[in-house]
Each structure stands twice: as C-alpha cells, then as structure tokens.
Amino acid sequence: MNVLLTGGGGFLGSHLVERIRADGVEPFVARRADYDLVRSEDTVRLFADSDPGVVIHLAAEVGGIGANRAQGGRYWYANTMMGANVLEQSRVHGVEKLVVVGTICSYPKLAPLPFREESLWDGFPEETNAPYGVAKKSLLVGGRAYREQYGLNTIHLLQVNLYGPGDDFDLERSHVIPALIRKMLESEGEVVLWGDGTPTREFLYVEDAAEGIWLAAQRYDGADPVNLGSGDEISIREVAELVADVTGFEGEIVWDTAKPNGQPRRRLDVSRAEERFGFRAKTPLREGLERTVAWYRDTALVGAPSG
C-alpha cells in the first residue's frame, strides 16, 4: 500500500508517520519545503513522485485566535487551494482512498452541545476562525461531489484541538495548551491570558489523533463526516489551572477581557467514530499534559531565555 501523507513533517504528521510505520508501512512524506501544495504544479509533481494508493491530507496553515485574526485571508486561501489541488490530483491518479482531516472550527458558533455531525450546516462558524473553518468545510463539499461524480472514495474527519510532544510553541501561532505551557514554564511572575477563561474546549492527545486517523484510513469508507475527539469538555480557566499545577507555576494568572474569548463552548459527540471505525480516545488530559510538559522541558526549554 503506497500511502502519501501531506503535512507529514508537522506536529500531527510526525506522530502519524510513526503510527503508520508501526504497521510496517513506510509512507511517502510530503513536506512544504519540497512541495508547496498551494501551487498546482507542485501538487502534480508530488503525485507523480509518490504514486499513491491512499492519500492522507493533513497539510494546513493554522494557528490560535491571534493568528487567525491576523491572517484570515491567507488561511482561507492556502487551505482552500491545498485541499482543492490534493482532491483533483487524487481523482486524476485514481487513488483508492483520500482521507481529509478537517476541523472543529467548521461547526457553527452556537451549535448545540455536544456537536453532532448533523449540525455542521446549521449556522456560521465563530468569526475569529471562520476563514480557516470554512476553507476546510468546503473540502467536505468537494469530497462528496467527487465521490458522486467520479467515484473517488473520500472521507472527512472533523478534528478537535490537538496537543502533545512536538507541538508548535511559538506564541504568535500556537494554540492554547502549548502557549500556556511555554508561558508558565518561562515566567516567574504573572502570565496574561486572552478573554475571561469561561469558554470551554475539547482537547485530543496527538498520539490518540494519529491512531484515529489511521483507523479511519483502514476501516471507514462513508460519505458522512466523522468527529474525532475525546468527548471531554473543560473551560479555559480550568485548563490554565491544570497547566499551572503540572508545570509548578506559582505566579498570577491575569485575564485580559479586552481580548476575544473565541467560540463559547466546544464538545463533540464522538459516538460515530467508535461506531464506524472503532476509535475511542485513551489519554486523560492530565496525563497528556504531563508528557507534553516533560517533552518541552527536555527538548525545547534547554537554553531558552526566561521571560
């Protein structure tokens, strides 16, 4: 089985590579330095080089609330173009299956909890990440259209926020957990966090996500989108307190209420993933945070300036 993995050099991609290799399969890993999938000619060259039977499309441009506000146009364009190019070349090359990894950001801002796949079209996404969420959502529409017209077996996964070893800890781009870990490990005084801490989120440990994607690639062939998450909801304030405990941070947590909160609540109904391809998240949040903090201390914090 020739497996092409776009975004294979990234955070999730590196973990998925290891999961696939554990089954004796060596994936073709597409990295942005070699193939810019926003460019159609690079995507054509990638498919010619890899000759894939299965394609797992992870490549994305994404970040936290600040990055989404600053680069909404770029995120919409880059993610739309990458997905469209990969979808078209999957058709041209007659791949057996295309797995598109989407995002929880595609859900309506005020979707009833838990988010069920049937609610995906019931409203507009939260404004700060709508360009990214809509770009990814359009790939679900394109995948269904290609399935109906060309018989391309495309599946679509709606993934929650990930965290874990190897995450992006750059404060200009990072999501909430890596940002919290870095701030609390590198600060002795106060840390300032956006919003008021009341919004809730759901988090999935990266190794669990890799397992879920690989199971879906092997076992699921349906047109319906499938949520991929833990099913556990926690407030940002509680996450901050938990990270403070795990890191040993004893300073003050200050909430900057002039900054946006983002989507009010997020929690997925994850029953379809278990029913369709047998996936259930295994890693409790505290355990995953402990592993992530240990990795950051051992790998990224060495020699880093305090701030």
pLDDT number for residue 178? 94
Q: How many CA atoms lie within 13 A of 92 on its CB side?
A: 14
- CA distances (Å), 186 to each of 83, 111, 211, in order? 37, 37, 32
So which residues are the catalytic ones? Answer: 132
Cis ω before 114 (30° cut-off from 0): yes
Q: Which domains does the chain have, with CATH numbers?
A: 3-167+203-231+266-283 (3.40.50.720)
Q: Which residues have a Cβ under 8 Å from the Cβ of 70 and sit 6 or more positions away?
A: none
Of the candidates 196, 159, 172, the one whose C-alpha atom is nearest the C-alpha of residue 64 is 172
How far apart (Å, rounded) are the C-alpha atoms in residues 86 and 180? 34
Q: Which two tokens stand for residue 131?
A: 């360009």
pLDDT number for residue 174? 80
The sign of the CA dihedral 252, 255, 258, 259 is positive
Print pLDDT tens along the chain (307 aa): 799 999 999 999 999 999 999 999 999 999 999 999 999 999 999 999 999 999 999 999 887 777 878 889 999 999 999 999 999 999 999 999 999 999 999 999 989 999 999 999 999 998 888 999 999 999 999 999 999 999 999 999 999 999 999 998 988 778 899 999 999 999 878 999 989 999 999 999 999 999 999 999 999 999 999 999 999 999 999 999 999 999 999 999 999 999 888 778 889 999 999 999 999 999 999 999 999 999 999 987 654 444 3
Q: Looking at 154-217, which runs of residues are DSSP E strands?
A: 154-159, 161-163, 191-194, 200-201, 203-205
Q: In b/e form, how buried is each residue of 26-52, taking b as 16+ CB within 10 angstroms?
A: ebbbbebeebbbbeeeebbebbeebeb
Phi and psi for 113 in degrees, rounded to 5?
-95, 150
β-strand pairing of 234-235 with 200-201: antiparallel
pLDDT number for residue 301? 66
pLDDT number for residue 303? 47
Q: Which two tokens stand for residue 154?
A: 């495309």
pLDDT number for residue 302? 57
pLDDT number for residue 260? 81
pLDDT number for residue 152? 98
